[in-house]
Amino acid sequence: MLNRRFQSILYFSIISLSIYIFLYNQSKHSISKNYTKQADVKPSVFCLIKTHPNNIKINKSLIVYKIWAHKCDNYRFITLIPNNLEPIKKKDVLEVYDQFYMIQPSFMQAESHGNLTLKMYYSMLYVYRSFPSYDWYYISDDDAYVNIKNLKTFLKDKPKYESITYGYNFKIIVKDGYHSGGPGYVLSNGAFMTICKKMDKNINNCPNSGIDDVDISQCIRNYNGKMGQSRDELGRERFLPMGLMDTFTGRNTDWLKGYGEHPPQKGLNCCSDSLIGVHYMNSRDAFRLDLSIETQRNNLKLYDEMFGLSKPITFKNILKNYLLLQDLESDTNDFNFTGNF
Ligand SMILES: *[C@@H]1O[C@H](CO)[C@@H](O)[C@H](O)[C@H]1NC(C)=O
Ligand SMILES: *[C@@H]1O[C@H](CO)[C@@H](O)[C@H](O)[C@H]1NC(C)=O
Ligand SMILES: *[C@@H]1O[C@H](CO)[C@@H](O)[C@H](O)[C@H]1NC(C)=O
Ligand SMILES: *[C@@H]1O[C@H](CO)[C@@H](O)[C@H](O)[C@H]1NC(C)=O
Based on the domain organization, do 273 and 164 belong to the same domain?
yes
pLDDT reading at 37 higher than 90: no
- Which ligand has its closest atom nearest to the C-alpha of 106? 3
242: nearest Cα among 274, 215, 264, 273: 264
CB 242 within 8 A of CB 256: yes
Q: Whose CA is nearest to atom 5 of ligand 1?
A: 34
Residue of 249, 336, 337, 340 best suited for mutating to test ligand 4, as the one with most atoms within 8 Å of CB: 336
Task: For residue 178, give the CATH number of its domain.
Answer: 3.90.550.50
Pairing of strands 178-179, 169-170: antiparallel
Pairing of strands 185-188, 136-141: antiparallel
Task: Specify the pLDDT at position 333.
Answer: 85
CA distance 21 to 33: 18
Query: Over the chain, what is the mean pLDDT?
Result: 89
Q: Whose CA is nearest to atom 10 of ligand 1?
A: 34
pLDDT reading at 36 higher than 50: no
Q: Which residue has the higher pLDDT, 203 or 115?
A: 203
pLDDT reading at 33 higher than 70: no
pLDDT reading at 29 higher than 60: no
pLDDT band at 270 (very low <50, low <70, confident <90, very high): very high
Q: What is the pLDDT of residues 290-302, one digit of tens each?
A: 999 999 999 999 9
Helices (H), the chain: 2-40, 53-57, 60-67, 116-130, 148-155, 189-201, 212-222, 244-249, 256-259, 283-307, 315-330, 337-340
pLDDT band at 15 (very low <50, low <70, confident <90, very high): low
* Residue 118 maps to a domain: yes
Q: Is 185 helix (H, G, I), strand (E, B) or coil?
A: strand
Q: How many domains in the chain?
A: 2
Q: Which phi and psi angles does 294 have, rounded to 5°?
A: -75, -35
Which atom of ligand 4 is found nearest the CA of 336? 1
* Residue 29 maps to a domain: no
Distance (angstroms) between ligand 2 centre and the Cα of 60 equals 10
Residue 38 Cβ inside 6 Å of ligand 4? The answer reads no
Q: What is the pLDDT of residues 40-97, one digit of tens each?
A: 458 999 999 999 999 999 999 999 999 999 999 999 999 999 999 999 999 889 999 9
CA distance 201 to 289: 42
Based on the domain organization, do 231 and 255 belong to the same domain?
yes
Q: Region 121-133: what's the mean pLDDT? A: 96
CA distance 240 to 89: 37
Based on the domain organization, do 95 and 108 belong to the same domain?
yes
pLDDT reading at 27 higher than 80: no
Q: Region 237-258: what's the mean pLDDT? A: 92
Q: What is the pLDDT of residues 135-173, one digit of tens each?
A: 999 999 999 999 999 999 999 999 999 999 999 999 999
Residue 339 Cβ inside 6 Å of ligand 4? The answer reads yes
Task: Specify the pLDDT at position 167.
Answer: 98
Which atom of ligand 3 is found nearest the CA of 114? 13
Go through 251-272 and write b for each residue having 16 or more CB atoms within 10 A of its CB, e for each that does not: eebeebeeebeeebbeeeebbb
Distance (angstroms) between ligand 2 centre and the Cα of 55 equals 12
Based on the domain organization, do 60 and 203 belong to the same domain?
yes
Q: What percent of the chain has pLDDT over 70?
A: 85
* Residue 30 maps to a domain: no
Based on the domain organization, do 312 and 206 belong to the same domain?
no
Residue 336 Cβ inside 6 Å of ligand 4? The answer reads yes
Based on the domain organization, do 252 and 324 belong to the same domain?
no
CB 217 within 8 A of CB 209: no
* Residue 191 maps to a domain: yes
pLDDT reading at 39 higher than 60: no
| Domain of residue 246, residue span | 45-278
Based on the domain organization, do 238 and 255 belong to the same domain?
yes
| Residue 84 to residues 53, 81, 97, 164, Cα–Cα distance (Å) | 11, 9, 12, 40
Distance (angstroms) between ligand 2 centre and the Cα of 53 equals 14
Q: Region 184-189: what's the mean pLDDT? A: 98
226: nearest Cα among 265, 174, 275: 174
pLDDT reading at 133 higher than 80: yes
Q: Whose CA is nearest to atom 7 of ligand 2?
A: 59
